[in-house]
């Protein structure tokens, strides 16, 4: 009997879940992690939505698969035949979309996305009546739709993509006292103010709502007998939607949750400490399903982890930024102990429209972010500086490390066919909607805020 696959993914969540020693109550995900394999050092290929997801699902980096920016801003995968959905279609799987996909167009236009990507069935519920703040309710309805679908008879093995709006902004309303807000455990990289605490409380509420839905899905898998014949994977696209996290190459932007359970596991309840990239997920799924891997995959399988066999994890992981709302070309290489970040554009200030609007962003803008400049070339000693606060690129004792990391990055760029950077505007496609680098509001409709 062939395994089913259930791919569950959230939006903008980073590692902010209970299994990662984060003070957010996610009992259902925590219980699942104790029956699965939790990858503590998993990293996305890009800290922006569509490029990250496209890389995971094609096994190719954004500069290779073509998804350089957001699907809702005109960017596309060069060849949707490389999407794992189409590969599984050819292998006799019944492929199903439920909820958000971000690899084509606008995710609210879910049928268009399902058709373009190649899903055979779309059970996503209507979202036309929801405003952004209410899309967490859409998550609940999609959860119910999936649970009902799981009860139906299955003649073929299935692949289901269950996509959640949570934990994307806007957050659900909260009602917490000042005392309760002061008791919250903020992420270390954030400024500790009451505005930021209230904002983060909304994020926590969104996470908790996701966990409730996750629990319903796991319960239904067990009730229908599919828990032990389904490869279950939970992950997110990138870091949390705050300044110096999402849309940056700091760990707060690229460090992600990844928890996987192989049916009737030999290994469970373990935390893998080695580096792993989401570029490795597609070849791993192929190995776990016993199907041939795509020759174009740029990652390596870590499937042996699930058989209690020694698996050499990645020596280094790589990530990139091209477009989010504005163009901000950057690349990074991360090893266990060091990270090198290189920006390739000529705009040295913070690309503020690449930061989601929020009370936290407003606070940062009022306290110096408007004038702050990026480190265009930065080396971080992660063992001694895990929050990446001190650029040691100029320090004498790190020059050998810098040359080593620089060589790793240059070799990766060459081997994966990375483009010349920066990408000049004459090579941009007309369909791409790109903000001026100095634009502040990612939702701006003003003509002068866009590059024509």
CATH at residue 161: 3.40.720.10
In a domain, 352, yes or no: yes
Kindly give the pairing relationship between strand 158-163 and strand 317-323: unpaired
Structure tokens at 309: 């066999």
Name the pTM for this structure: 0.97
In a domain, 273, yes or no: yes
Q: Is 311 exposed, middle or buried (0-12, 13-18, 19+ CB in 10 A)?
A: middle
Domain boundary among 307, 325, 342: 307
User: Is the per-residue pLDDT at 156 higher than 90?
Assistant: yes
CATH at residue 444: 3.30.1120.10
Nearest residue to 332 (alpha-carbon basis) of 344, 346, 349, 345: 344
Looking at the structure, do residues 90 and 190 belong to the same domain, yes or no? yes
In a domain, 383, yes or no: yes
CA distance 352 to 443: 12
Looking at the structure, do residues 321 and 270 belong to the same domain, yes or no? no
Looking at the structure, do residues 137 and 234 belong to the same domain, yes or no? yes
Structure tokens at 101: 């996909």
Looking at the structure, do residues 396 and 297 belong to the same domain, yes or no? no
CA distance 329 to 320: 7
**pLDDT at residue 131, rounded to an integer:** 76
How confident is the model over 227-240, as pLDDT tens digits? 999 999 999 999 99
Looking at the structure, do residues 301 and 331 belong to the same domain, yes or no? no
- With pLDDT > 90 as the criterion, what percentage of the chain qualifies? 93
Looking at the structure, do residues 334 and 285 belong to the same domain, yes or no? no
Looking at the structure, do residues 265 and 300 belong to the same domain, yes or no? yes
User: Is the per-residue pLDDT at 312 higher than 90?
Assistant: no
Domain boundary among 287, 307, 327: 307
In a domain, 374, yes or no: yes
Strand order in the sheet with 338-343: 317-323, 327-334, 338-343, 377-381
CA distance 80 to 45: 18
User: Is the per-residue pLDDT at 264 higher than 90?
Assistant: no
**pLDDT at residue 134, rounded to an integer:** 80
In a domain, 278, yes or no: yes
In a domain, 312, yes or no: no
Question: Running DSSP on this structure, what letter comes out for residue 7?
Answer: E
How confident is the model over 381-411, as pLDDT tens digits? 999 999 999 999 999 999 999 999 999 999 9
In a domain, 343, yes or no: yes
User: How many structural domains does the chain have?
Assistant: 2
Looking at the structure, do residues 200 and 336 belong to the same domain, yes or no? no
CA distance 63 to 17: 30
**pLDDT at residue 452, rounded to an integer:** 82
Looking at the structure, do residues 108 and 18 belong to the same domain, yes or no? yes
Q: What 3-state class would DSSP assign to 342?
A: strand
Looking at the structure, do residues 245 and 325 belong to the same domain, yes or no? no
Structure tokens at 108: 């609210």
- With pLDDT > 70 as the criterion, what percentage of the chain qualifies? 100
Contact 181, 201 (CB under 8 A): yes
Residues in the chain: 452
Domain boundary among 282, 307, 332: 307
**pLDDT at residue 279, rounded to an integer:** 99
Residue 141: domain span: 4-307
In a domain, 27, yes or no: yes
CA distance 151 to 304: 32
Looking at the structure, do residues 290 and 369 belong to the same domain, yes or no? no
Contact 335, 62 (CB under 8 A): no
What mean pLDDT is reported for the chain?
A: 96
Alpha-carbon distance values, 18 to 31, 218, 240, 290, 401 (Å): 10, 17, 15, 32, 34
- Lowest-confidence segment of 105-119, 128-142, 348-362, 365-379 by average pLDDT: 128-142
Looking at the structure, do residues 78 and 103 belong to the same domain, yes or no? yes
């Amino acid at each position: 009997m062939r395994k089913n696959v259930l791919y569950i993914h959230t939006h903008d969540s980073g590692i902010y879940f209970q299994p990662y020693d984060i003070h957010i109550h996610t009992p259902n995900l925590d219980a699942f992690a104790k029956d699965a394999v939790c990858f503590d050092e998993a990293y996305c290929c890009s800290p922006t939505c569509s490029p990250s997801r496209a890389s995971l699902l094609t096994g190719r980096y954004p500069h290779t698969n073509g998804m350089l920016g957001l699907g809702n801003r005109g960017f596309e995968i060069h060849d949707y035949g490389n999407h794992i959905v189409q590969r599984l279609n050819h292998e006799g799987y019944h492929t199903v979309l439920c909820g958000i996909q971000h690899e084509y167009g606008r995710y609210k236009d879910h049928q268009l996305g399902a058709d373009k990507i190649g899903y055979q069935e779309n059970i996503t519920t209507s979202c036309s009546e929801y405003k952004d703040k209410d899309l967490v309710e859409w998550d609940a309805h999609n959860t119910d739709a999936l649970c009902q679908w799981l009860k139906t008879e299955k003649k073929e093995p299935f692949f289901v993509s269950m996509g959640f709006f949570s934990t994307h902004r806007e957050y659900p309303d909260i009602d917490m006292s000042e005392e309760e807000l002061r008791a919250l455990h903020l992420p270390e990289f954030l400024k500790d103010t009451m505005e930021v605490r209230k904002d983060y409380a909304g994020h926590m509420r969104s996470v908790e709502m996701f966990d409730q839905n996750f629990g319903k899905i796991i319960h239904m898998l067990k009730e229908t007998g599919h828990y032990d014949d389904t490869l279950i994977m939970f992950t997110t696209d990138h870091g949390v939607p705050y300044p110096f996290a999402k849309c940056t190459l700091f760990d707060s932007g690229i460090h992600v949750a990844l928890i996987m359970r192989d049916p009737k596991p030999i290994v469970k309840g373990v935390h893998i400490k080695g580096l792993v990239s989401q570029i490795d997920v597609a070849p791993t799924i192929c190995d776990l399903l016993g199907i041939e891997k795509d020759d174009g995959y740029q990652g390596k399988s870590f499937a042996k982890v699930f058989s209690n066999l020694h698996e050499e994890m990645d020596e280094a992981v790589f990530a990139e930024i091209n477009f989010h709302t504005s163009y901000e070309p950057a690349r990074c290489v991360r090893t266990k102990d060091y990270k090198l970040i290189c920006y390739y554009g000529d705009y040295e200030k913070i690309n503020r429209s690449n930061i989601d609007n929020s009370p936290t962003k407003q606070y940062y803008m009022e306290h110096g972010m408007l004038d702050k400049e990026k480190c265009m070339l930065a080396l971080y000693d992660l063992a001694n500086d895990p929050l990446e606060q001190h650029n040691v690129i100029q320090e004498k004792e790190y020059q050998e490390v810098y040359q080593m990391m620089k060589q790793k990055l240059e070799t990766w760029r060459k081997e994966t066919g990375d483009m010349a950077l920066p990408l000049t505007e004459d090579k941009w496609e007309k369909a791409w909607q790109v903000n001026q680098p100095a634009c502040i509001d990612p939702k701006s409709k003003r003509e002068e805020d866009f590059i024509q």
